[in-house]
Protein backbone atom coordinates (compact mmCIF):
# COMPACT_ATOMS: atom_id res chain seq x y z
CA UNK A 1 0.00 0.00 0.00
CA UNK A 2 1.40 3.40 -0.99
CA UNK A 3 1.64 5.74 1.99
CA UNK A 4 1.00 9.41 1.35
CA UNK A 5 3.37 11.83 3.06
CA UNK A 6 1.12 14.30 4.90
CA UNK A 7 2.66 17.67 5.72
CA UNK A 8 0.71 19.72 8.26
CA UNK A 9 1.67 23.28 7.33
CA UNK A 10 1.79 25.41 10.48
CA UNK A 11 3.57 28.15 8.54
CA UNK A 12 3.30 31.39 10.48
CA UNK A 13 0.03 30.45 12.17
CA UNK A 14 1.90 30.59 15.50
CA UNK A 15 1.69 34.41 15.21
CA UNK A 16 5.27 34.73 16.43
CA UNK A 17 4.66 32.76 19.63
CA UNK A 18 6.88 29.75 20.41
CA UNK A 19 4.23 28.37 22.76
CA UNK A 20 1.58 28.48 20.05
CA UNK A 21 4.08 26.85 17.68
CA UNK A 22 4.57 24.02 20.17
CA UNK A 23 0.82 23.59 20.46
CA UNK A 24 0.64 23.32 16.67
CA UNK A 25 3.28 20.58 16.85
CA UNK A 26 1.19 18.68 19.41
CA UNK A 27 -1.95 19.03 17.30
CA UNK A 28 -0.20 17.86 14.12
CA UNK A 29 1.06 14.77 15.94
CA UNK A 30 -2.33 14.00 17.49
CA UNK A 31 -4.03 14.33 14.09
CA UNK A 32 -1.67 11.79 12.53
CA UNK A 33 0.37 14.03 10.20
CA UNK A 34 3.83 12.78 9.21
CA UNK A 35 5.50 16.19 9.21
CA UNK A 36 4.78 19.56 10.80
CA UNK A 37 6.20 22.42 8.73
CA UNK A 38 7.04 26.02 9.60
CA UNK A 39 8.64 28.95 7.75
CA UNK A 40 12.08 30.33 8.57
CA UNK A 41 13.37 33.69 7.39
CA UNK A 42 15.47 36.70 8.23
CA UNK A 43 13.13 39.61 7.76
CA UNK A 44 15.63 41.93 6.07
CA UNK A 45 16.63 39.18 3.60
CA UNK A 46 13.07 38.22 2.78
CA UNK A 47 11.26 41.41 1.88
CA UNK A 48 11.95 45.05 1.15
CA UNK A 49 10.23 47.86 2.97
CA UNK A 50 8.40 48.73 -0.24
CA UNK A 51 6.69 45.33 -0.75
CA UNK A 52 2.91 45.44 -0.37
CA UNK A 53 0.77 42.72 1.13
CA UNK A 54 -1.19 40.41 -1.17
CA UNK A 55 -4.90 41.12 -1.48
CA UNK A 56 -5.81 38.04 0.57
CA UNK A 57 -3.44 39.20 3.33
CA UNK A 58 -5.05 42.63 3.44
CA UNK A 59 -8.48 41.03 3.61
CA UNK A 60 -7.56 38.49 6.29
CA UNK A 61 -5.69 40.94 8.49
CA UNK A 62 -8.20 43.73 7.95
CA UNK A 63 -5.74 46.59 7.80
CA UNK A 64 -3.19 48.22 5.52
CA UNK A 65 0.50 47.78 6.26
CA UNK A 66 3.59 46.68 4.39
CA UNK A 67 4.60 43.03 4.07
CA UNK A 68 7.60 43.80 6.26
CA UNK A 69 5.45 45.24 9.02
CA UNK A 70 3.13 42.26 8.88
CA UNK A 71 5.90 39.65 8.87
CA UNK A 72 7.85 41.34 11.67
CA UNK A 73 5.12 40.13 14.05
CA UNK A 74 4.98 36.58 12.66
CA UNK A 75 8.55 35.27 12.43
CA UNK A 76 10.24 33.08 15.03
CA UNK A 77 13.94 33.48 15.82
CA UNK A 78 16.63 30.95 14.92
CA UNK A 79 16.88 30.04 18.62
CA UNK A 80 13.13 29.38 18.63
CA UNK A 81 13.52 26.96 15.73
CA UNK A 82 16.29 25.06 17.50
CA UNK A 83 13.99 24.61 20.47
CA UNK A 84 11.06 23.78 18.18
CA UNK A 85 13.02 21.09 16.32
CA UNK A 86 13.99 19.50 19.63
CA UNK A 87 10.38 19.64 20.74
CA UNK A 88 9.29 17.82 17.57
CA UNK A 89 11.70 15.00 18.44
CA UNK A 90 10.25 14.89 21.94
CA UNK A 91 6.67 14.72 20.62
CA UNK A 92 7.55 12.22 17.88
CA UNK A 93 6.81 14.09 14.67
CA UNK A 94 9.19 15.11 11.88
CA UNK A 95 10.21 18.77 11.91
CA UNK A 96 10.40 20.73 8.67
CA UNK A 97 10.70 24.40 7.91
CA UNK A 98 10.85 26.23 4.60
CA UNK A 99 13.77 28.65 4.34
CA UNK A 100 13.08 31.94 2.59
CA UNK A 101 16.66 33.17 2.27
CA UNK A 102 20.14 31.71 1.90
CA UNK A 103 21.14 32.36 5.53
CA UNK A 104 18.14 30.35 6.62
CA UNK A 105 19.13 27.51 4.26
CA UNK A 106 22.53 27.35 5.99
CA UNK A 107 20.90 27.50 9.41
CA UNK A 108 18.37 24.75 8.71
CA UNK A 109 20.65 22.41 6.77
CA UNK A 110 21.96 20.45 9.80
CA UNK A 111 18.39 20.04 11.12
CA UNK A 112 16.69 18.70 7.99
CA UNK A 113 16.99 15.71 5.67
CA UNK A 114 14.53 17.11 3.14
CA UNK A 115 13.81 20.61 1.80
CA UNK A 116 10.48 22.23 1.04
CA UNK A 117 10.86 24.92 -1.62
CA UNK A 118 7.88 27.32 -1.72
CA UNK A 119 6.25 28.53 -4.92
CA UNK A 120 7.70 32.00 -4.57
CA UNK A 121 11.30 30.71 -4.75
CA UNK A 122 10.93 28.65 -7.95
CA UNK A 123 12.56 31.43 -9.99
CA UNK A 124 15.26 32.26 -7.39
CA UNK A 125 18.41 30.82 -9.01
CA UNK A 126 20.94 31.40 -6.18
CA UNK A 127 18.46 30.02 -3.65
CA UNK A 128 17.89 26.86 -5.69
CA UNK A 129 21.63 26.32 -6.09
CA UNK A 130 22.18 26.50 -2.32
CA UNK A 131 19.35 24.02 -1.74
CA UNK A 132 20.72 21.63 -4.36
CA UNK A 133 24.30 21.75 -3.09
CA UNK A 134 23.25 20.07 0.16
CA UNK A 135 22.38 16.90 -1.80
CA UNK A 136 19.16 16.46 0.13
CA UNK A 137 15.75 15.50 -1.23
CA UNK A 138 13.54 18.37 -2.37
CA UNK A 139 9.79 18.95 -2.37
CA UNK A 140 8.97 21.96 -4.54
CA UNK A 141 5.63 23.75 -4.86
CA UNK A 142 4.75 25.16 -8.27
CA UNK A 143 2.05 27.75 -7.67
CA UNK A 144 2.05 30.65 -10.16
CA UNK A 145 4.42 28.72 -12.46
CA UNK A 146 4.60 28.21 -16.19
CA UNK A 147 5.80 24.76 -17.28
CA UNK A 148 9.09 26.18 -18.58
CA UNK A 149 9.76 27.80 -15.19
CA UNK A 150 9.29 24.46 -13.45
CA UNK A 151 11.60 22.80 -15.96
CA UNK A 152 14.28 25.44 -15.43
CA UNK A 153 14.04 25.11 -11.65
CA UNK A 154 14.32 21.31 -11.80
CA UNK A 155 17.32 21.59 -14.10
CA UNK A 156 19.04 23.95 -11.65
CA UNK A 157 18.37 21.57 -8.77
CA UNK A 158 19.48 18.45 -10.65
CA UNK A 159 22.55 20.07 -12.20
CA UNK A 160 23.75 21.20 -8.78
CA UNK A 161 23.47 17.88 -6.97
CA UNK A 162 20.04 17.77 -5.35
CA UNK A 163 18.53 14.52 -4.18
CA UNK A 164 15.22 13.13 -5.43
CA UNK A 165 12.64 15.78 -6.29
CA UNK A 166 8.89 15.74 -5.66
CA UNK A 167 6.84 18.36 -7.53
CA UNK A 168 3.69 19.67 -5.87
CA UNK A 169 0.93 21.13 -7.96
CA UNK A 170 -0.45 24.24 -6.27
CA UNK A 171 -2.77 27.18 -6.84
CA UNK A 172 -1.39 30.20 -5.00
CA UNK A 173 -4.47 31.91 -3.62
CA UNK A 174 -5.86 31.75 -0.09
CA UNK A 175 -8.34 30.17 -0.29
CA UNK A 176 -7.94 28.79 -3.82
CA UNK A 177 -11.22 28.62 -5.81
CA UNK A 178 -12.26 25.08 -6.71
CA UNK A 179 -12.58 25.92 -10.39
CA UNK A 180 -8.93 26.99 -10.53
CA UNK A 181 -7.44 23.91 -8.85
CA UNK A 182 -6.93 21.77 -11.99
CA UNK A 183 -5.87 18.58 -10.21
CA UNK A 184 -5.31 16.87 -13.56
CA UNK A 185 -2.12 18.92 -13.86
CA UNK A 186 -0.49 16.42 -11.49
CA UNK A 187 -0.54 13.80 -14.22
CA UNK A 188 0.95 16.29 -16.68
CA UNK A 189 3.79 17.08 -14.26
CA UNK A 190 4.49 13.40 -13.64
CA UNK A 191 4.69 12.58 -17.34
CA UNK A 192 6.66 15.68 -18.27
CA UNK A 193 9.30 15.57 -15.54
CA UNK A 194 9.37 11.87 -14.59
CA UNK A 195 9.10 12.63 -10.91
CA UNK A 196 6.95 11.95 -7.89
CA UNK A 197 4.04 14.40 -7.66
CA UNK A 198 1.82 15.75 -4.92
CA UNK A 199 -0.48 18.62 -4.08
CA UNK A 200 -0.17 21.68 -1.88
CA UNK A 201 -3.76 22.48 -1.01
CA UNK A 202 -5.01 26.01 -0.36
CA UNK A 203 -8.71 25.29 -0.91
CA UNK A 204 -11.33 25.34 1.80
CA UNK A 205 -12.17 21.98 3.33
CA UNK A 206 -10.53 18.61 2.81
CA UNK A 207 -12.19 17.12 -0.27
CA UNK A 208 -9.63 18.37 -2.79
CA UNK A 209 -6.76 16.83 -0.83
CA UNK A 210 -8.64 13.52 -0.73
CA UNK A 211 -9.28 13.72 -4.47
CA UNK A 212 -5.60 14.48 -5.09
CA UNK A 213 -4.56 11.30 -3.26
CA UNK A 214 -7.05 9.29 -5.31
CA UNK A 215 -5.47 10.79 -8.46
CA UNK A 216 -1.96 9.79 -7.44
CA UNK A 217 -0.59 12.50 -5.12
CA UNK A 218 2.15 10.99 -2.96
CA UNK A 219 2.59 14.15 -0.86
CA UNK A 220 -0.16 16.37 0.55
CA UNK A 221 0.58 19.72 2.18
CA UNK A 222 -2.21 21.57 3.97
CA UNK A 223 -2.26 24.64 6.23
CA UNK A 224 -3.74 24.19 9.69
CA UNK A 225 -4.39 26.42 12.66
CA UNK A 226 -5.62 26.18 16.22
CA UNK A 227 -8.48 28.56 15.43
CA UNK A 228 -9.50 30.09 12.09
CA UNK A 229 -10.61 33.26 13.90
CA UNK A 230 -7.10 34.09 15.08
CA UNK A 231 -5.51 37.23 13.63
CA UNK A 232 -3.04 36.59 10.82
CA UNK A 233 -2.80 36.19 7.05
CA UNK A 234 -3.21 32.42 6.73
CA UNK A 235 -5.67 31.34 9.43
CA UNK A 236 -8.78 31.84 7.29
CA UNK A 237 -7.57 29.34 4.65
CA UNK A 238 -6.38 26.77 7.21
CA UNK A 239 -7.93 23.65 8.70
CA UNK A 240 -8.85 23.52 12.35
CA UNK A 241 -7.65 20.47 14.35
CA UNK A 242 -10.80 18.36 13.89
CA UNK A 243 -10.67 18.99 10.13
CA UNK A 244 -6.98 18.09 9.93
CA UNK A 245 -7.74 14.82 11.73
CA UNK A 246 -10.60 14.11 9.30
CA UNK A 247 -8.29 14.78 6.33
CA UNK A 248 -5.56 12.47 7.62
CA UNK A 249 -8.07 9.70 8.39
CA UNK A 250 -9.68 10.15 4.97
CA UNK A 251 -6.33 9.92 3.18
CA UNK A 252 -5.40 6.74 5.07
CA UNK A 253 -8.74 5.19 4.09
CA UNK A 254 -8.23 6.16 0.44
CA UNK A 255 -4.77 4.55 0.49
CA UNK A 256 -6.36 1.30 1.63
CA UNK A 257 -9.10 1.59 -0.98
CA UNK A 258 -6.65 2.21 -3.84
CA UNK A 259 -5.05 -1.16 -3.15
CA UNK A 260 -3.66 -3.26 -6.01
CA UNK A 261 -4.03 -2.78 -9.77
CA UNK A 262 -4.85 -6.44 -10.52
CA UNK A 263 -8.54 -7.20 -10.98
CA UNK A 264 -9.48 -10.40 -9.15
CA UNK A 265 -11.96 -11.29 -6.41
CA UNK A 266 -10.75 -10.19 -3.02
CA UNK A 267 -10.66 -12.73 -0.24
CA UNK A 268 -13.62 -11.15 1.48
CA UNK A 269 -15.69 -11.35 -1.72
CA UNK A 270 -15.32 -15.10 -2.18
CA UNK A 271 -17.86 -16.02 0.47
CA UNK A 272 -20.45 -13.83 -1.27
CA UNK A 273 -20.10 -15.34 -4.73
CA UNK A 274 -22.33 -18.31 -3.95
CA UNK A 275 -24.95 -15.97 -2.53
CA UNK A 276 -24.95 -13.33 -5.25
CA UNK A 277 -24.42 -15.42 -8.38
CA UNK A 278 -26.91 -17.74 -10.08
CA UNK A 279 -26.94 -21.34 -11.27
CA UNK A 280 -28.96 -23.27 -13.82
CA UNK A 281 -32.07 -24.67 -12.06
CA UNK A 282 -35.26 -26.48 -13.00
CA UNK A 283 -38.00 -24.07 -13.98
CA UNK A 284 -40.53 -26.85 -13.25
CA UNK A 285 -40.48 -30.54 -12.40
CA UNK A 286 -38.39 -32.51 -14.93
CA UNK A 287 -38.62 -36.30 -15.43
CA UNK A 288 -35.72 -38.65 -16.10
CA UNK A 289 -35.04 -38.81 -19.84
CA UNK A 290 -36.53 -35.39 -20.66
CA UNK A 291 -34.45 -32.98 -22.70
CA UNK A 292 -33.29 -29.80 -21.04
CA UNK A 293 -34.87 -26.86 -22.89
CA UNK A 294 -35.44 -23.17 -22.45
CA UNK A 295 -38.97 -24.10 -21.39
CA UNK A 296 -37.92 -26.19 -18.38
CA UNK A 297 -34.71 -24.44 -17.26
CA UNK A 298 -33.98 -21.01 -15.77
CA UNK A 299 -31.30 -19.29 -13.69
CA UNK A 300 -31.64 -18.51 -9.99
CA UNK A 301 -29.55 -18.06 -6.90
CA UNK A 302 -27.49 -19.59 -5.29
CA UNK A 303 -24.38 -19.88 -7.43
CA UNK A 304 -23.26 -23.28 -6.16
CA UNK A 305 -24.43 -25.20 -9.24
CA UNK A 306 -23.69 -25.07 -12.96
CA UNK A 307 -22.86 -21.54 -14.11
CA UNK A 308 -25.39 -19.92 -16.47
CA UNK A 309 -22.38 -19.25 -18.74
CA UNK A 310 -22.64 -22.97 -19.63
CA UNK A 311 -26.27 -22.58 -20.71
CA UNK A 312 -25.65 -23.73 -24.29
CA UNK A 313 -23.81 -26.82 -23.03
CA UNK A 314 -26.80 -27.85 -20.92
CA UNK A 315 -29.60 -27.14 -23.42
CA UNK A 316 -30.34 -30.35 -25.38
CA UNK A 317 -28.83 -32.68 -22.79
CA UNK A 318 -30.98 -35.46 -21.28
CA UNK A 319 -31.99 -35.43 -17.62
CA UNK A 320 -30.31 -38.39 -15.91
CA UNK A 321 -32.76 -38.25 -13.00
CA UNK A 322 -35.84 -36.42 -11.81
CA UNK A 323 -35.44 -32.76 -10.86
CA UNK A 324 -37.89 -30.81 -8.72
CA UNK A 325 -38.73 -27.17 -9.44
CA UNK A 326 -35.88 -24.85 -8.35
CA UNK A 327 -33.46 -27.78 -7.92
CA UNK A 328 -29.91 -27.27 -9.16
CA UNK A 329 -29.37 -29.04 -12.48
CA UNK A 330 -26.69 -31.72 -12.85
CA UNK A 331 -25.43 -33.18 -16.10
pLDDT at res. 74: 86
- pLDDT surpasses 80 at 56: no
- pLDDT surpasses 90 at 148: yes
Domain topology for 5-258: TIM Barrel (3.20.20)
pLDDT at res. 189: 98
Where along the chain do its domains lie?
5-258, 267-314
Instruction: Give percent of the chain above pLDDT 90.
Output: 87
Interatomic CA distance for residues 11 and 100, integer angstroms: 12
Mean pLDDT of 126-142: 98
CA 133 vs CA 34, 61, 125, 150, 155: distances in Å: 26, 37, 12, 18, 13
pLDDT per position as a tens digit, 196-226: 999 999 999 999 999 999 999 999 999 999 9
Supply the pTM of this predicted model.
0.89
Amino acid sequence: MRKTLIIAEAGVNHNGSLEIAKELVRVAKECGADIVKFQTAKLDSLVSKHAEMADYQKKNIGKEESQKEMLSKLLLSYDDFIELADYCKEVGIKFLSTPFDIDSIHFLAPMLDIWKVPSGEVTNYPYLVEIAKTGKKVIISTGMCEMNEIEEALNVLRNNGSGDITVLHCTTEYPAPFDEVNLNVMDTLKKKFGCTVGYSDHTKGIEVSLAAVALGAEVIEKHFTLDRNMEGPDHKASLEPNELKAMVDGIRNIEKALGASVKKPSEIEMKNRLVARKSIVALKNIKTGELFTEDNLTTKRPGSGISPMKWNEVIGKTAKRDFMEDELIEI
